[in-house]
A and B are shown apart, each in its own frame.
Chain A
Amino acid sequence: EAQVTQNPRYLITVTGKKLTVTCSQNMNHEYMSWYRQDPGLGLRQIYYSMNVEVTDKGDVPEGYKVSRKEKRNFPLILESPSPNQTSLYFCASSLVGSGNTIYFGEGSWLTVV
């Protein structure tokens, strides 16, 4: 089954404690991306990657890092989480090119206290 898998799905953590949210896709997609969703603001792109070892900032990259060492994985790293990073996070992937459907993971609820 084609899917994008995120882990953890739910996490409560403390300010400053480094954490990683993993994302993996089994569709051999070149493109992967991370979004955060906050009330009243919609989904905003954090980082994206067009292929292995190619990453770029989205609209709200501050406080986040990513890596793309393998095609299937695109982890999101919060080196020193802060309460304003409490949000719902989605990973997404697709083939590159117009008209290709973007597939989303089920989301990761992150609370930083």
Chain B
Amino acid sequence: RKEVEQDPGPFNVPEGATVAFNCTYSNSASQSFFWYRQDCRKEPKLLMSVYSSGNEDGRFTAQLNRASQYISLLIRDSKLSDSATYLCVVKKDLGAQKLVFGQGTRLTINP
């Protein structure tokens, strides 16, 4: 079983739709959680951190469920520019910088 698992998609949704991605992680000792965005043939960039209480950044909402070892990302009112691959990322402990990446979920927003 992979340490971090995501549905690879692809997801094709119309502009303006709401789309949700899910991610599960296997290591219950994981401490920090993130969503990264990666455009085609480009480097990953941090989209947002995920906090236990849930957090929102504009049209993006991230949720963490430690009991179920589950992370989600919700995108509301999707834009064409949201088309990208979204990577679920888990950091194992607070001191080290080791990140474990999911394989990514590919999203295409259609006009």
* A90 adjacent to B44 (CB under 8 Å): yes
Indicate if A34 sits at the interface (CB-CB under 8 A). Answer: no
Q: A40-B103, A43-B87 are in contact. Are A98 and B44 (CB under 8 A)?
A: no
Residue of B with least CB distance to A4: B43
Which parts of A78-103 form the interface with B (CB within 8 Å)?
90, 94, 96-102
- Checking A41, A43, A101 against B46 with a beta-carbon cut-off of 8 angstroms, the contacting residue is A101
Indicate if B1 sits at the interface (CB-CB under 8 A). Answer: no
Stretch at the interface among B11-19, B61-69, B89-97: B89-97
Counting chain A residues whose Cβ lies within 8 A of the other chain, the interface size class is 20 to 34
Looking at the assembled complex, report how far the CB atom of A91 sits from the nearest CB atom of chain B, in whole angstroms: 9
Q: Taking each of A41, A102, A107, which has the highest tally of chain B beta carbons within 10 Å of its own beta carbon?
A: A102
Residues of the B chain whose Cβ atoms lie less than 8 Å from the Cβ of A100: 97
Number of interface residues of B (CB under 8 A): 22
* A98 adjacent to B91 (CB under 8 Å): yes
Looking at the assembled complex, report how far the CB atom of A56 sits from the nearest CB atom of chain B, in whole angstroms: 10
Residue of A with least CB distance to B4: A42
In angstroms, Cα B42 to Cα A100, docked, is 21
Q: Taking each of B31, B41, B99, B102, which has the highest tally of chain A beta carbons within 10 Å of its own beta carbon?
A: B99
In angstroms, Cα B42 to Cα A102, docked, is 15
Q: A98-B94, A107-B41 are in contact. Are A45 and B32 (CB under 8 A)?
A: no
* B43 adjacent to A48 (CB under 8 Å): no
* A102 adjacent to B87 (CB under 8 Å): no
Indicate if B59 sits at the interface (CB-CB under 8 A). Answer: no
In angstroms, Cα B90 to Cα A45, docked, is 13
Residues of the A chain whose Cβ atoms lie less than 8 Å from the Cβ of B103: 40-42
Known contacts A31-B97, A97-B95, then 13 further A-B pairs from the complex at CB < 8 Å, ordered by chain A residue: A42-B87, A42-B101, A42-B104, A43-B87, A45-B98, A48-B98, A98-B31, A98-B91, A99-B32, A104-B43, A104-B44, A104-B45, A107-B42
